[in-house]
Amino acid sequence: MNTLTIDLLRHGEARGGQRFRGWREDPLTDDGWNQMYKALPARRPWGRIISSPLKRCSDFTRKLSQTSHIPAQMENDLKELHFGDWEGHTPTELLHSDAERVQAFWDDPLNNTPPNGESLGVFRMRVLGVWNRLMEEDEGRFLLITHGGVIRVIIAEVLGMPAENLFRIDVPHACLSRIMVQDGIPRLAFHCRTQ
């Protein structure tokens, strides 16, 4: 029986504290780098690393690829949800300046898009395009280094959760999750395991 193993790693803490980052190019803090290294097993079993091109993912990916001799590729469709006008702002700032729209987004993200941002429907289609291409692999081990929103979309798809429940999945910094696929059927092996 062939097994496809896909590990999902969220980036570590980024500079600038908690904020709606989306497509911003905020690099990792020193703690963020350490969080990511600590999240990974000592043995690096992956045949390929696939990463978001945003700095908080790609800088770590390039370093890990170089030191572990594992080929890496950047995948634009693994970027975080684009938060439009909210990017760079903290939740507190937005609750003061745009409270009604922020609350509507949290309550019903499918029908409430951040101003000048990406809709959740478009975001899901983008992420699931990558996921569906991976599901065509017969076997192998892959590490996806990406963002909380991307990981939520993939896990929700595996579990058959409706998209409106995405924010019920907690994905802290440097969270490592694993999906195993046997006979074309994916299952969540673990979520947010720490080493």
**Beta strand ranges found along the chain (DSSP E):** 3-10, 48-51, 72-74, 140-146, 176-182, 185-193
Confidence of residue 194 (pLDDT cuts 50, 70, 90): low
Quick one: average pLDDT of 87-107?
A: 92
Pick the closest to residue 178 from 55, 3, 2, 56 (CA basis): 3
CATH of the domain at 160: 3.40.50.1240
| pLDDT score recorded for residue 195 | 56
Quick one: average pLDDT of 14-32?
A: 94
| pLDDT score recorded for residue 159 | 97
Q: Cα 26 from chain centroid?
A: 15
* Whole-Å CA distances, 97 to 22, 29, 54, 119, 158: 19, 28, 27, 21, 36
Q: Within 10 A of 5 (CB to CB), how many other CB atoms are there? A: 18
pLDDT in tens, 120-171: 999 999 999 999 999 998 789 999 999 999 999 999 999 999 988 998 999 9
Report the number of distinct structural domains present in the chain: 1
Range of the domain at 128: 3-193
pLDDT in tens, 28-73: 999 999 999 999 998 889 999 999 999 999 999 999 999 999 999 9
| pLDDT score recorded for residue 153 | 98
